[in-house]
Protein backbone atom coordinates (compact mmCIF):
# COMPACT_ATOMS: atom_id res chain seq x y z
CA UNK A 1 0.00 0.00 0.00
CA UNK A 2 1.46 3.33 -1.07
CA UNK A 3 0.40 6.95 -1.00
CA UNK A 4 -0.44 8.35 -4.45
CA UNK A 5 -0.32 12.14 -4.69
CA UNK A 6 -2.18 13.50 -7.73
CA UNK A 7 -1.05 17.00 -8.66
CA UNK A 8 -2.41 19.39 -11.27
CA UNK A 9 0.14 19.29 -14.12
CA UNK A 10 -0.88 17.87 -17.50
CA UNK A 11 -1.36 14.12 -17.87
CA UNK A 12 -1.75 12.95 -21.48
CA UNK A 13 -1.63 9.17 -21.06
CA UNK A 14 -4.07 8.37 -18.28
CA UNK A 15 -3.88 4.66 -18.95
CA UNK A 16 -0.13 4.62 -18.30
CA UNK A 17 -0.47 6.80 -15.20
CA UNK A 18 -3.31 4.65 -13.82
CA UNK A 19 -1.24 1.49 -14.33
CA UNK A 20 0.99 2.61 -11.44
CA UNK A 21 -1.95 2.78 -9.02
CA UNK A 22 -3.01 -0.29 -7.04
CA UNK A 23 -6.53 -0.81 -5.72
CA UNK A 24 -5.41 -0.60 -2.09
CA UNK A 25 -3.37 2.62 -2.51
CA UNK A 26 -4.23 5.76 -0.54
CA UNK A 27 -4.93 8.59 -2.99
CA UNK A 28 -4.48 12.27 -2.15
CA UNK A 29 -5.79 14.79 -4.69
CA UNK A 30 -4.08 18.18 -4.56
CA UNK A 31 -6.33 21.05 -5.63
CA UNK A 32 -6.40 20.97 -9.47
CA UNK A 33 -5.27 17.35 -9.31
CA UNK A 34 -9.00 16.77 -8.85
CA UNK A 35 -9.38 17.32 -12.60
CA UNK A 36 -7.45 14.07 -13.17
CA UNK A 37 -9.32 11.84 -10.72
CA UNK A 38 -12.12 10.64 -12.99
CA UNK A 39 -9.80 9.90 -15.92
CA UNK A 40 -7.48 7.95 -13.60
CA UNK A 41 -10.44 5.85 -12.45
CA UNK A 42 -9.90 6.44 -8.73
CA UNK A 43 -11.62 8.16 -5.84
CA UNK A 44 -9.51 10.35 -3.53
CA UNK A 45 -9.18 9.24 0.07
CA UNK A 46 -8.10 12.77 0.96
CA UNK A 47 -8.32 16.15 -0.79
CA UNK A 48 -5.92 18.94 0.12
CA UNK A 49 -5.48 22.41 -1.28
CA UNK A 50 -6.12 26.11 -1.09
CA UNK A 51 -8.55 25.73 -4.02
CA UNK A 52 -7.10 28.52 -6.10
CA UNK A 53 -7.10 26.33 -9.22
CA UNK A 54 -10.13 24.08 -8.60
CA UNK A 55 -13.40 24.82 -6.80
CA UNK A 56 -13.65 23.31 -3.35
CA UNK A 57 -15.62 20.10 -3.94
CA UNK A 58 -18.94 19.43 -2.28
CA UNK A 59 -18.18 16.04 -0.78
CA UNK A 60 -18.50 14.16 2.49
CA UNK A 61 -14.98 12.85 2.00
CA UNK A 62 -12.00 14.14 3.97
CA UNK A 63 -10.76 17.59 2.97
CA UNK A 64 -7.95 19.66 4.41
CA UNK A 65 -8.31 23.26 3.24
CA UNK A 66 -5.07 25.22 3.24
CA UNK A 67 -4.37 28.96 3.31
CA UNK A 68 -3.15 30.47 0.07
CA UNK A 69 -0.16 32.10 1.73
CA UNK A 70 2.00 29.31 3.15
CA UNK A 71 5.50 27.83 3.00
CA UNK A 72 4.46 24.44 1.56
CA UNK A 73 2.96 23.91 -1.86
CA UNK A 74 -0.20 21.81 -1.86
CA UNK A 75 1.79 18.78 -3.03
CA UNK A 76 4.44 19.18 -0.32
CA UNK A 77 1.69 19.48 2.31
CA UNK A 78 0.13 16.29 0.89
CA UNK A 79 3.51 14.55 1.11
CA UNK A 80 4.00 15.60 4.74
CA UNK A 81 0.46 14.45 5.53
CA UNK A 82 1.20 11.06 3.96
CA UNK A 83 4.40 10.78 6.00
CA UNK A 84 2.46 11.69 9.13
CA UNK A 85 0.00 8.89 8.36
CA UNK A 86 2.77 6.33 8.20
CA UNK A 87 3.19 5.57 4.50
CA UNK A 88 6.57 4.24 3.39
CA UNK A 89 6.18 4.56 -0.38
CA UNK A 90 4.94 7.52 -2.43
CA UNK A 91 3.99 8.08 -6.06
CA UNK A 92 3.51 11.52 -7.63
CA UNK A 93 1.34 11.88 -10.73
CA UNK A 94 0.73 15.16 -12.57
CA UNK A 95 3.78 16.57 -10.79
CA UNK A 96 5.74 17.98 -13.76
CA UNK A 97 4.38 20.53 -16.18
CA UNK A 98 4.43 24.17 -17.26
CA UNK A 99 5.44 25.48 -13.84
CA UNK A 100 9.14 24.65 -13.59
CA UNK A 101 9.27 25.93 -10.01
CA UNK A 102 6.49 23.61 -8.84
CA UNK A 103 8.01 20.72 -10.77
CA UNK A 104 11.41 21.32 -9.21
CA UNK A 105 9.86 21.37 -5.74
CA UNK A 106 8.19 18.03 -6.45
CA UNK A 107 11.47 16.51 -7.67
CA UNK A 108 13.17 17.87 -4.54
CA UNK A 109 10.51 16.10 -2.49
CA UNK A 110 12.11 12.85 -3.60
CA UNK A 111 15.22 13.97 -1.70
CA UNK A 112 13.09 14.61 1.38
CA UNK A 113 11.73 11.08 1.21
CA UNK A 114 15.14 9.50 0.70
CA UNK A 115 16.56 11.44 3.64
CA UNK A 116 14.04 9.77 5.98
CA UNK A 117 14.40 6.30 4.47
CA UNK A 118 11.19 6.27 2.42
CA UNK A 119 10.67 5.53 -1.26
CA UNK A 120 9.32 8.01 -3.76
CA UNK A 121 8.74 8.12 -7.52
CA UNK A 122 7.46 10.67 -10.00
CA UNK A 123 5.81 9.40 -13.17
CA UNK A 124 4.78 11.61 -16.09
CA UNK A 125 4.08 10.95 -19.77
CA UNK A 126 7.76 10.73 -20.64
CA UNK A 127 9.65 9.14 -17.77
CA UNK A 128 9.76 7.89 -14.23
CA UNK A 129 12.24 9.25 -11.72
CA UNK A 130 13.44 8.39 -8.25
CA UNK A 131 16.29 9.28 -5.93
CA UNK A 132 18.58 6.36 -5.15
CA UNK A 133 21.20 6.11 -2.42
CA UNK A 134 22.12 2.42 -2.64
CA UNK A 135 21.49 0.59 -5.92
CA UNK A 136 18.96 0.28 -8.72
CA UNK A 137 18.39 -1.57 -11.97
CA UNK A 138 17.23 -0.47 -15.41
CA UNK A 139 15.91 -3.03 -17.90
CA UNK A 140 16.35 -2.76 -21.65
CA UNK A 141 12.66 -1.89 -22.01
CA UNK A 142 13.72 1.70 -21.28
CA UNK A 143 15.47 3.28 -24.29
CA UNK A 144 17.48 5.72 -22.15
CA UNK A 145 18.25 6.46 -18.53
CA UNK A 146 20.03 9.37 -16.88
CA UNK A 147 21.72 10.04 -13.56
CA UNK A 148 21.52 13.62 -12.28
CA UNK A 149 23.02 15.24 -9.21
CA UNK A 150 20.21 17.41 -7.83
CA UNK A 151 21.33 17.35 -4.19
CA UNK A 152 24.73 19.00 -4.57
CA UNK A 153 26.26 16.23 -2.48
CA UNK A 154 29.45 14.41 -3.35
CA UNK A 155 28.77 10.96 -4.74
CA UNK A 156 30.54 7.83 -5.89
CA UNK A 157 28.74 6.01 -8.71
CA UNK A 158 29.32 2.77 -10.63
CA UNK A 159 27.31 1.55 -13.63
CA UNK A 160 27.52 -1.81 -15.37
CA UNK A 161 25.48 -3.36 -18.18
CA UNK A 162 25.19 -0.03 -19.99
CA UNK A 163 26.69 1.60 -23.07
CA UNK A 164 28.53 4.11 -20.89
CA UNK A 165 29.80 2.32 -17.75
CA UNK A 166 31.20 4.06 -14.69
CA UNK A 167 33.61 2.78 -12.08
CA UNK A 168 33.59 4.82 -8.87
CA UNK A 169 33.05 8.19 -10.57
CA UNK A 170 31.44 11.39 -9.33
CA UNK A 171 28.65 13.28 -11.11
CA UNK A 172 28.59 16.91 -10.01
CA UNK A 173 25.87 19.59 -10.28
CA UNK A 174 28.25 21.61 -12.46
CA UNK A 175 28.86 18.79 -14.95
CA UNK A 176 25.83 16.57 -15.49
CA UNK A 177 27.41 14.10 -17.92
CA UNK A 178 25.24 11.15 -16.84
CA UNK A 179 22.50 11.91 -19.40
CA UNK A 180 21.01 9.52 -22.01
CA UNK A 181 22.80 6.31 -21.14
CA UNK A 182 21.58 3.08 -22.78
CA UNK A 183 21.14 -0.44 -21.47
CA UNK A 184 23.14 -2.96 -23.47
CA UNK A 185 21.07 -5.45 -25.55
CA UNK A 186 19.80 -8.39 -23.50
CA UNK A 187 21.30 -6.83 -20.36
CA UNK A 188 20.05 -5.06 -17.26
CA UNK A 189 21.95 -1.98 -16.17
CA UNK A 190 23.09 -2.08 -12.55
CA UNK A 191 23.66 1.24 -10.79
CA UNK A 192 25.50 1.30 -7.46
CA UNK A 193 25.66 4.44 -5.34
CA UNK A 194 28.67 3.86 -3.10
CA UNK A 195 28.36 7.32 -1.57
CA UNK A 196 25.78 10.09 -1.70
CA UNK A 197 22.60 9.93 -3.75
CA UNK A 198 21.55 10.55 -7.32
CA UNK A 199 18.35 11.12 -9.32
CA UNK A 200 17.64 8.22 -11.66
CA UNK A 201 15.45 9.05 -14.67
CA UNK A 202 14.13 6.16 -16.77
CA UNK A 203 12.80 7.42 -20.13
CA UNK A 204 9.82 5.74 -21.79
CA UNK A 205 9.88 4.67 -25.42
Domain residue ranges in the chain: 3-125, 132-203
pLDDT of 95 > 90? The answer is yes
Contacts made by residues 22-25, CB under 8 angstroms, sequence distance 24+: 25/1, 25/91
User: How high does pLDDT run on average in the chain?
Assistant: 95
Task: Name the maximum alpha-carbon separation found in the chain.
Answer: 56
pTM summary value: 0.93
Q: Span 58-82, mean pLDDT?
A: 90
pLDDT of 63 > 90? The answer is yes
Q: Which fold has domain 132-203?
A: Jelly Rolls (2.60.120)
| Residues of the chain by 3-state class (helix, strand, coil), percent to 5 | 20, 35, 45
Q: How many CB atoms lie within 10 A of CB 13?
A: 13
Taking Cα atoms as reference points, which of 14, 62, 64 lies closest to residue 42?
14
Q: What is the spatial distance between Cα 17 and Cα 92, in angstroms, rounded to a whole number? A: 10
- What are 46's strand-pairing partners? 28, 62
pLDDT, one tens digit per residue, over 11-43 is: 999 999 999 999 999 999 998 999 999 999 999
Q: What kind of architecture, by CATH, is found in domain 3-125?
A: 3-Layer(aba) Sandwich (3.40)
Q: What is the spatial distance between Cα 101 and Cα 147, in angstroms, rounded to a whole number? A: 20
The string of DSSP letters for 73-112 reads -HHHHHHHHHHHTT-SEEEEES--SS-HHHHHHHHHHHHH
Amino acid sequence: MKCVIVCGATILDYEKAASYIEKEDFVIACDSGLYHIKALGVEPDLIVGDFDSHPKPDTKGEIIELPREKDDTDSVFALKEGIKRGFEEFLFLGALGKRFDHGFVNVSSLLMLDSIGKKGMIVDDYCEMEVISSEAYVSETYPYFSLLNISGEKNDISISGAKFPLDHKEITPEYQYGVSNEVLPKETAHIVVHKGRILLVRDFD
